[in-house]
Each structure stands twice: as structure tokens, then as C-alpha cells.
Amino acid sequence: MIRPSVRFLSAAVLVALSMPLIQVSAQTQVPAAPPQDQAAPAAPAPAAAPVFPAPDPQYFTADKPTKETINAFLESSWGYEENRVWQVQAILKTPVEGVSKVIVFVGDKSGKEKPSALEFFAMADGKHIITGDQIVAFGEHPFADFRAQMQQQADGPYRGAASKDLELVEFADFQCPHCKEAQANMDKLATDFPKARIVFENDPIPSLHPQAVTAASYGVCVAKQGGSTAFFQFAAAVFDGQDGLATPDGATLTLNSAITKAGLDTAKIAACATAPETKAAVDASIKLASDVGISQVPMLVINGREVPANAPYETLKKIVTYQANQDGITK
């Protein structure tokens, strides 16, 4: 579910540079390439299997980023897709010192997709690119900084391994229907990746879900008083009874029932939920989501790599496996 706010930062780029084939929503499609200017080469015509034209040296007028860096970046982003192919077609100087325009031809070995051109601007810092109105981390290891940030700040309840070597951080809203749907994926990931640490972080959207912040606050208190095991029992019960969150009275009944199923005292949790430190904990989780550009839920951050948590499971599993291999982690 998309957050209707100024935090709409990275969904289109997540699609363009991380998940071009996943059919989760309209924003998980590869966007059409912007119109080419006269200084740029034209994209190739569709073919059963793409045959890209040989790069022309006249379109390589900038020294940075190098082809090697761009290819490493795209390999990190797209390498899990065995049919995805690309070719760096231009690295052009711009009027802004240190900013280069990059054009990449993209295709599919199976011929199921029409070849297209992806354009982006590489920033002078070597660590970011701009495509459309989106700013994205760039480089040979584009997810490393977000991975470190998650390891340091994602302190929500977790299941699985204590180690953070393979860390899957789920950002979700208890009242979001898509987040409820994603729980089947999360349960399968916990089974298929026993070495993973699977963390839950609250990212409620109160403008759409009036009871989401209350549910998040209760969840914080359940984890505080009962630990991670109690939290995931509570969370499963809340998602199962999500329809009850539609009204304040229904939310109270639903949350109290979930607390009871987790084996805790409803009065103690309710009192804790109104405490300033509980609000601070929910706010910190929301801020973490904002800081890494998460603009929709459910979102799963796999060692720093953002992927919709309600993607088709086999694709999600493939991405987790690929990212783990990229980071030197065996299943």
C-alpha cells in the first residue's frame, strides 16, 4: 500500500533497478524510457532475443562512472534474473561538473519483453544516481550502506537467527490488507532460510488506517513485556482478525484478543501503549523507514535491498538467495 505523502521517494526506482519483472502493482513495472535527446543513441528494435548495436565511442564522453562500475551496479540489482541482459550504451558529460548521463539498453533473453532504454544521471559523489524524480544509492555495492543502517537501527522483535549476517527487515502496517497477505511469504521465508534474522518494524499509515498506530503501540508493548515469541503470536492474531480494526471498539476487542493469545495481561499492555516511550519507539521505526526511502508497505529489506514483501514467493525466495550469495552467505 502506497503512503500518500512526501515520503514517496523510491518505489519507481525500486522497480526499475531492483524488480523489473515482479507483478505486485503498477509500480513494479519497468517504466518507459524518457524521450531520447539528439545526443543519445536510439534503442534497438524488438527481437526474439535482443541483439544490441555495438556501443559507439562518441557516446562515451565522461570518465566516470566507468562501464565496470555501472555493470557491477546492475549485476547487484538485476543479477537474480537469469534472462535479464543489458548493455551500457552511453556515458555522457553534462553541463554540470561531475554529473554524467548514462544510457543502458535492457532486454530479455526469452524475447518476452520489448527491449528498452534505461536512463539515469550519475552524481559527482559516485554514490547516487537520479532517474526520473528518484534518488538511488549507486556503486558496486549499492545496498551496503542501507544494510549497515538496518543492522544498527532495526531493533524490532525478530525470529530466526541471532546473527545479522542475513537480515530480513519487514516494514508493515497492521491494518494494511497487503501486509496481511504478505505474512504467508514471511512464514515461508522463516522456514526456507533458517540462517536469516527476520525483524518486524512498524510503519503505520494513519491517514489510511486510523487504528494502525494503536496496533503498533500495542505490538511494541507486547514485545517489551513478552519478548519476540509473544510478539509474533500477537501479530499473527492481529493480522488474522484485521477486519476488526475497522472501528475503535472493534480494534480494542481485536487487540485484546491478540494479547490474550500471546499470554499477556491486557490491562498492562493497554497502559504501556499510552506511555511516551512507546510512542517514541513507534516513531523511531517510522523514521527508519523514511530514512531509507520506504514509501509503501509491506516492504522487505534484504541486507539493505528493498523488495515488496507481497511479491510472488518464488521470486522473493530467488532474490533472498541471490542477495545472500552476493554477501557471501550460504543458505
Mean pLDDT for 62-66 is 96
Shared domain for 91 and 128, answered yes or no, is yes
202: helix, coil or strand?
Answer: strand
Shared domain for 156 and 289, answered yes or no, is yes
Provide the pLDDT confidence category of residue 9 given band limits of 50, 70 and 90: very low
How would DSSP label each residue in 52-65? PPPPPGGGB---SS
The label of the residue with cell 519497468 reads 30
How would DSSP label each residue in 213-246? HHHHHHHHHHHHHHHHHHHHHHHHHHHHTGGGGG
Q: Nearest Cα to 90, choosing from 47, 53, 115?
A: 53
Shared domain for 51 and 69, answered yes or no, is yes
Q: State the pTM of this model.
A: 0.85
Q: Encode pLDDT of 128-141 as tens digits.
A: 999 988 899 999 99
Q: pLDDT above 90 covers what percent of the chain?
A: 79
Is residue 159 in a domain? yes
DSSP 36: P
For the record, the C-alpha cell of 132 comes out as 526520473
Is residue 202 in a domain? yes
Shared domain for 105 and 160, answered yes or no, is no
Shared domain for 184 and 129, answered yes or no, is no
CA gap 86, 326 in Å, rounded: 19
Given a cut of 60, is residue 11 above it in pLDDT?
no
What pLDDT is recorded for position 113?
82
199: helix, coil or strand?
Answer: strand
- Asked if residue 197 lies in contact with residue 167, where contact means CB atoms within 8 angstroms, the answer is yes
Shared domain for 223 and 93, answered yes or no, is no
Q: Encode pLDDT of 168-196 as tens digits.
A: 999 999 999 999 999 999 999 999 999 99
The label of the residue with cell 520506504 reads 294
Q: Encode pLDDT of 238-276 as tens digits.
A: 999 999 999 999 999 999 999 999 999 999 999 999 999
Going by DSSP bridges, is the β-strand pair 128-131/100-108 parallel, antiparallel, or unpaired?
Answer: unpaired
What pLDDT is recorded for position 203?
98
Q: Encode pLDDT of 100-117 as tens digits.
A: 999 999 999 988 888 999
Report residue 131 CA to chain centroid gap.
17
Shared domain for 238 and 311, answered yes or no, is yes
Amino acid at site 35: P
For the record, the C-alpha cell of 276 comes out as 511516551
Provide the pLDDT confidence category of residue 97 given band limits of 50, 70 and 90: very high
Shared domain for 41 and 151, answered yes or no, is no
Please say which residue of 92, 124, 139 terminates a domain: 139
Q: Encode pLDDT of 209-246 as tens digits.
A: 999 999 999 999 999 999 999 999 999 999 999 999 99
Residues 6 or more apart whose Cβ sits within 8 Å of residue 301: 146, 150, 154, 167, 168, 169, 170, 171, 292, 294, 307
For the record, the C-alpha cell of 283 comes out as 516513531
Given a cut of 50, is residue 4 above it in pLDDT?
no
Q: Residue 272 sits in a domain of what CATH number?
A: 3.40.30.10
Is residue 149 in a domain? yes
Q: What is the number of domains present in the chain?
A: 2
Given a cut of 70, is residue 30 above it in pLDDT?
no
Shared domain for 312 and 198, answered yes or no, is yes
Is residue 8 in a domain? no
CA gap 252, 220 in Å, rounded: 16
Shared domain for 79 and 152, answered yes or no, is no
User: H/E element holding 93?
Assistant: strand 84-93
Q: Nearest Cα to 48, choosing from 132, 115, 133?
A: 115
Please say which residue of 139, 162, 188 terminates a domain: 139
Given a cut of 50, is residue 23 above it in pLDDT?
no
For residue 133, the enclosing domain spans: 32-139
Is residue 15 in a domain? no
Is residue 168 in a domain? yes
For the record, the C-alpha cell of 36 comes out as 531520447
Measured in residues, the chain has a length of 331
Is residue 1 in a domain? no
Shared domain for 249 and 134, answered yes or no, is no
DSSP 198: E
Tabulate helix, strand, coil % of the chain (nearest 5).
Answer: 40, 20, 40
Q: Nearest Cα to 316, choosing from 308, 324, 328?
A: 308
CA gap 203, 156 in Å, rounded: 12
Please say which residue of 122, 139, 156 terminates a domain: 139
**Sheet of strand 128-131, all strands in order from the earlier edge strand to the far edge:** 84-93, 100-108, 116-122, 128-131, 134-137
Report residue 127 CA to chain centroid gap.
18
The label of the residue with cell 526474439 reads 48
Shared domain for 180 and 89, answered yes or no, is no
Is residue 3 in a domain? no
What pLDDT is recorded for position 41?
63
Higher pLDDT, 84 or 110: 84
- Asked if residue 89 lies in contact with residue 104, where contact means CB atoms within 8 angstroms, the answer is yes
DSSP 46: P
Centre a 10 Å sphere on the Cβ of residue 283 and count the other Cβ atoms it contains: 13
